[in-house]
Amino acid sequence: MPAELIDGRAIAKKIRADVAERAKKLAQGGLRPGLAVVMVGDNPASAVYTAAKSKAAEEAGFYSLNLRLPADTSEADLLSRVDALNSDPKIHGILVQMPLPKQIDPDTVIRRIDPKKDVDGFHPVNVGKMLIGERDGFIPCTPAGIQVLLKESGVKTPGKDCVIIGRSNIVGKPMAALMMQDNENANCTVTVCHRRTVDLKAHTRAADILIVAAGRPRIVTADMVKPGAVVIDVGTNRVNDPSTKSGTRLQGDVDFESVSEIASKITPVPGGVGPMTIAMLMANTVRAAEMTVR
């Protein structure tokens, strides 16, 4: 029996509607949530992402600032811009789009953002709070979105074996930290696999919940999945496809056609994890604004 599709678009729409209501309530009290999205250079993919984030902010009723800086911007200049946003009372969330040009150290920039405005959830203060289970920081948007996808899809996580492929600071590591927490939406036994893992298939076949964030198209095939497992595909790889107008298409890290015949639930690409990332960014931003009036 084919797997049930986990509809990220529908769940994200629900979250964004809730965010808009919360923003409206704040606005009635004289506070409009503000999100600043900063992009350095002219990376085409980054331009698409930043435009989508700014549009989502506007649709939620936020004050939206989309700051685009030239590719030769110095690190000192970018840091001074971040400082100005940190002290701007109209801005509650700051996002600096990655990647940055080679002359700018991304870790230095991330550490410069006020943790209370770090709605991406990458500042070491927020990472530390997430790791020890504190709830007053911000969680990185993609892992937070995946946890909501599981909850909204009726997946019971306590006691389950969760295998994560990928150990990035953006997805893999925070995802592992979230899924091992002691709460009703986690309490998993977590295994993190990576490029040095021996016998990847032995690990993935043991997974009740398999989260794939490897950045390699179709790295997971049907023979690597336990029958009935829940499969979350984080991959967004652009591959050649002569049948499309653009000559390319998005392909996940999972071989969707074969794995969907084995899994009980699965996220599609596109339309699965992707929409949740922006939705959770909006949720983090409205919460940052709410925290200023508590």
The catalytic site residues sit at: 53, 97, 120
Buried b / exposed e across 128-160, counting CB within 10 Å, b at 16+? ebbbeeeeebbbbbbbbbbbbbbebbebebeeb
Q: Is the separation of the CB atoms in 266 and 231 below 8 Å?
A: yes
Q: What are phi and psi of 91, to 5 degrees?
A: -105, 125
Query: How many CB atoms are closer than 10 A to CB 206?
Result: 14
Our CA angle for 270, 274, 276, nearest 5°, is 135
Strand partners, 249: 239
Q: Residue 55 and residue 253: Cα distance in Å, rounded?
A: 28
Beta strands in 19-78 (DSSP E): 34-40, 63-69
Phi-psi region of 166 (alpha: psi -120 to 50; beta: other; left: phi over 0): left
